[in-house]
C-alpha cells in the first residue's frame, strides 16, 4: 500500500511540470465573511488553545483560523464575541475588540476599547457602521483589553478587514490575483495556557523577548516564530512576469517586518488602508526596494513574478540599542505554480538571483471615490501638541504619566479641525505611534521632510541619539492629525503599538468634542 501511495505521489508530481495550470493554489488561504444585505455578521469565541498554549479566537469549529471580513463603504459589521476563557486568579482573561484604522465611532456598541469589556462567561455585541466615505483599503481587528493586549495579540487573536473599492481608484488592480497576508510573531515557549494562574503578560514578554539589538546587527531569537497566514514558511504560486496584489497586515504584538523580494522592486499603492494618492497632489504609486511595517501597520503593493524561484523576506530591523531583536527571516517562497509543490516536499532554499526591475503598472485613475476629509488639503492646524515618550525602568510613559483607566483625557480636540503634534522619543528604542479612529499626515522625521504627504495611522518614532558633548537629542516625528470627520467624536486612545509598551503605560486618551 505504501508503494502504491508513493508511486501515485511521484506520478502526480511529475505531471505538475507539464500541467502547471491545473495545479491547485498552494497559497495558505484565510476564511472570509461577506455582507448579506449590507451586514457582515461575525461570531467569534475566545478559547484556550492547547496547541499554542495561549488564548485564541475560534471561528465556527476552527481554532485560530480568524476570518477576513470584506465590506463595502456603507456596510455594517455586526460582531458577537463570547468569552469562553476559564477564570483565572491573575488575569489575562478579559477581552474586547478594536477595529484598527477604520474611521468609525469610538462609542459603544462601536469601536470602544475603554468601557466595553467581557470577563469569562460574558458576551459582547458590536455594531460598527462603515461610513460611505471610508477609504477603501486594508484594516484589521484585534483585542485591546489593557493590560492583556500583548498576550492576546501575540498568540494570533486578529483578523484582516478589507474595505472594497481600491480597484475603482486603480483599475489595473481589478485583473490581478489578490493575496491577503497576515503576519504574526507567535511565542514558541510552552505552558502559557497551562500556567494561566501563574504567568502575567509582563512575564510572558520577558520570557519571549529576552534578546536585544546590539549595534546594527540583529541577533537570532529562539522564542518567537514569525508566521505567514499561520504558516512558518508559506508558498506563493506566481508565474514569471505575473503581477499579484499583496495586501499585508503586520499583526504581530511587537515585531517589525521589513518586507522585500530580493532581486525585485515593489510597487507600493497604499499604506494603513489609504491609497498613496488620497491626499491631493501625491503620486499614485511608489517603486521601493522594501517596505518597513511597524506593528499594526499595513502595506498594499504589487509583486511581479521573476523567472526563477524567489523569496518574500523580512530584513533585519534595527530597533535601537534598547529595542527587541528583529532578525531577518524568510516568510514565503515565490514560485511558478508548475514547481510550487516542490517547496512542500522539502527543496533547498533558492538563491535570490540577479537584480531585476520590472516596469511599474500604469495605475490609471478611474472612477471617483466618495468625497471625504482625506481627499481635501489640510487646513492650518487649530492646535499644537507635544507628546513625549519615555521610560522609568518600570513603566512606559507619555508626557511623564503611565496610563490609568478612568483618568481624564490628556488632550481635548475640536471636531472639524486638524492638529499638529510633535512626538519626541527620549528612549533608546523605536516606538510605533498609533492613534485610534483617525489618520494623520507625516510631516517630518528627526526634522527631515519625507518628501511626500501620506495618510497613516501608525508611524515609527526613532530612538534618541547621542550628541558629541554626551547629551542626547530625542528622536522625533511631526504629524498633522485629522479630526475633521464628525464620526470620530468621543473619547479614544493613542499609544505605542509595541503592545507590551502600551500594556505597561504608554497610552493616553483624547476627547474630541
CB crowding 308-342: b at 16 or more within 10 Å, else e: bbbbbbbbbbbbbbebbbbbebebbbbbbbbbbbb
Instruction: Please state, in angstroms and as integers, the Cα–Cα distance from residue 333 to each residue in 28, 233, 252, 302, 340, following that order.
Output: 12, 7, 21, 16, 8
CB crowding 240-276: b at 16 or more within 10 Å, else e: eeebbbbbbbbbbbbbbbbbbbbbbbbbbbbbbbbbb
CB 474 within 8 Å of CB 461:
no
Helix (H, G, I), strand (E, B) or coil at 453: coil
Q: Which long-range contacts (CB under 8 A, 24 or more apart) does 215-223 make?
A: 215/321, 216/318, 217/316, 218/316, 218/317, 218/318, 218/325, 218/326, 218/327, 218/328, 219/325, 219/327, 220/325, 220/327, 221/325, 221/327, 222/188, 223/187, 223/188, 223/189
* Predicted pLDDT at 25: 64
Torsions phi, psi of 7, nearest 5?
-60, -40
Could you tell me what percent of the chain has a pLDDT over 70? 82
* Predicted pLDDT at 5: 31
Any idea which of 65-74, 227-236, 331-340, 384-393 has the lowest mean pLDDT?
A: 331-340
Q: Can you give 59-79 as a three-state secondary structure string?
A: ECCEECCCCEEEECCCCEEEE
For residue 505, pLDDT over 80 is answered with yes
Nearest to 23 by CA among 335, 340, 309, 242: 340
* Predicted pLDDT at 134: 96
Q: pLDDT per residue over 213-268, tens digit each?
A: 333 445 555 578 899 999 999 999 999 999 999 999 999 999 999 999 999 999 99
Mean pLDDT value of segment 493-497: 98
For residue 370, pLDDT over 80 is answered with no
Helix (H, G, I), strand (E, B) or coil at 151: helix
Q: Which residue has the cell 505521489?
A: 9
Give the contacts of 469 (CB within 8 A, at least 6 positions apart).
none
Confidence of residue 49 (pLDDT cuts 50, 70, 90): confident
User: Domain 32-164 class?
Assistant: mainly beta
Q: pLDDT per residue over 54-103, tens digit each?
A: 899 999 988 888 999 999 999 999 999 999 998 876 556 899 999 999 99
Beta-bridge partner residues of 436: none
CB 315 within 8 Å of CB 255:
no
Nearest to 303 by CA among 271, 340, 268: 268
What's the pTM?
0.88
| Homologous superfamily of domain range 378-512 | Cupredoxins -  blue copper proteins (2.60.40.420)
Q: pLDDT per residue over 279-307, tens digit each?
A: 999 999 999 999 999 999 999 999 999 98
Residues of the chain within CATH 2.60.40.420 domain(s) are 32-164, 171-344, 378-512
Torsion of CA 284, 296, 115, 500, to 10 degrees: -160
Return the CATH number of 171-344, one of 2.60.40.420, 3.40.50.20, 3.10.20.30, 3.20.20.450. 2.60.40.420
Nearest to 397 by CA among 293, 502, 486: 502
Nearest to 496 by CA among 373, 258, 324: 324
Q: Which residue has the cell 497576508?
A: 181
* Predicted pLDDT at 326: 87
End-to-end CA distance of the chain: 72
Distance, in Å, from the CA atom of 274 to the CA atom of 300, rounded to the nearest integer, reads: 9
For residue 445, pLDDT over 50 is answered with yes
Amino acid at each position: 500500500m505504501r508503494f502504491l501511495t508513493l508511486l501515485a505521489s511521484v506520478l502526480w508530481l511529475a505531471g505538475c511540470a507539464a500541467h502547471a495550470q491545473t495545479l491547485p493554489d498552494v497559497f495558505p488561504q484565510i476564511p472570509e465573511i461577506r455582507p448579506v444585505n449590507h451586514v457582515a455578521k461575525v461570531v467569534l469565541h475566545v478559547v484556550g488553545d492547547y496547541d499554542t498554549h495561549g488564548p485564541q479566537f475560534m471561528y465556527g469549529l476552527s481554532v485560530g483560523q480568524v476570518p477576513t471580513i470584506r465590506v463595502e463603504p456603507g456596510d455594517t459589521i455586526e460582531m458577537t464575541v463570547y468569552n469562553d476563557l476559564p477564570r483565572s486568579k491573575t488575569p489575562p482573561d478579559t477581552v474586547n475588540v478594536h477595529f484598527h484604522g477604520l474611521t468609525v465611532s469610538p462609542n459603544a456598541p462601536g469601536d470602544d476599547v475603554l468601557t466595553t469589556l467581557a470577563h469569562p462567561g460574558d458576551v459582547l455585541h458590536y455594531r460598527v457602521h462603515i461610513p460611505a466615505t471610508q477609504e477603501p483599503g486594508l484594516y484589521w481587528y484585534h483585542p485591546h483589553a489593557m493590560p492583556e493586549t500583548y498576550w492576546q495579540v501575540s498568540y494570533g487573536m486578529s483578523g484582516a478587514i478589507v474595505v472594497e473599492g481600491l480597484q475603482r481608484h486603480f483599475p489595473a488592480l481589478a485583473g490581478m490575483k489578490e493575496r491577503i497576508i497576515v503576519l504574526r510573531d507567535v511565542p514558541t515557549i510552552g505552558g502559557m495556557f497551562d500556567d494561566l494562574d501563574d504567568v502575567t503578560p509582563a512575564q510572558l514578554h520577558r520570557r519571549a523577548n529576552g534578546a536585544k539589538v546590539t549595534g546594527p546587527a540583529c541577533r537570532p531569537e529562539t522564542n518567537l516564530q514569525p508566521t505567514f497566514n499561520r504558516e512558518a514558511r508559506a508558498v506563493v504560486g506566481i508565474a514569471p512576469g505575473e503581477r499579484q496584489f499583496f495586501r499585508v497586515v503586520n499583526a504581530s504584538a511587537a515585531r517589525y517586518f521589513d518586507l522585500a523580494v530580493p532581486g525585485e522592486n515593489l510597487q507600493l499603492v497604499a499604506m494603513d488602508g489609504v491609497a498613496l494618492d488620497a491626499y491631493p497632489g501625491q503620486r499614485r504609486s511608489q517603486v521601493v526596494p522594501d517596505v518597513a511595517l511597524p506593528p499594526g501597520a499595513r502595506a498594499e503593493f504589487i509583486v511581479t513574478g521573476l523567472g526563477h524561484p524567489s523569496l518574500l523576506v523580512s530584513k533585519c530591523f534595527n530597533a535601537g540599542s534598547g529595542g527587541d531583536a528583529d532578525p531577518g527571516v524568510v516568510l514565503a517562497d515565490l514560485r511558478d505554480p508548475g514547481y510550487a509543490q516542490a517547496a512542500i516536499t522539502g527543496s533547498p532554499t533558492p538563491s535570490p538571483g540577479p537584480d531585476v526591475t520590472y516596469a511599474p503598472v500604469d495605475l490609471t485613475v478611474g472612477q471617483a471615490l466618495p468625497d471625504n476629509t482625506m481627499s481635501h488639503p489640510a487646513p492650518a492646524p487649530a492646535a499644537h501638541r507635544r507628546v513625549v515618550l519615555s521610560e522609568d525602568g518600570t513603566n512606559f510613559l507619555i508626557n511623564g504619566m503611565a496610563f490609568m483607566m478612568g483618568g481624564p483625557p490628556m488632550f481635548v480636540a475640536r471636531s472639524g479641525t486638524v492638529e499638529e503634534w510633535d512626538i519626541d522619543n527620549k528612549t533608546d528604542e523605536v516606538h510605533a505611534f498609533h492613534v485610534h479612529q483617525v489618520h494623520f499626515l507625516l510631516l517630518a522625521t528627526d526634522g527631515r521632510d519625507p518628501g511626500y504627504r501620506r495618510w497613516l495611522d501608525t508611524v515609527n518614532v526613532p530612538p534618541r541619539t547621542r550628541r558629541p558633548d554626551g547629551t542626547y537629542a530625542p528622536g522625533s516625528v511631526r504629524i498633522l492629525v485629522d479630526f475633521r470627520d464628525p464620526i470620530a467624536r468621543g473619547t479614544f486612545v493613542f499609544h505605542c503599538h509595541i503592545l507590551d509598551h502600551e500594556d505597561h503605560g504608554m497610552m493616553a486618551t483624547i476627547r474630541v468634542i
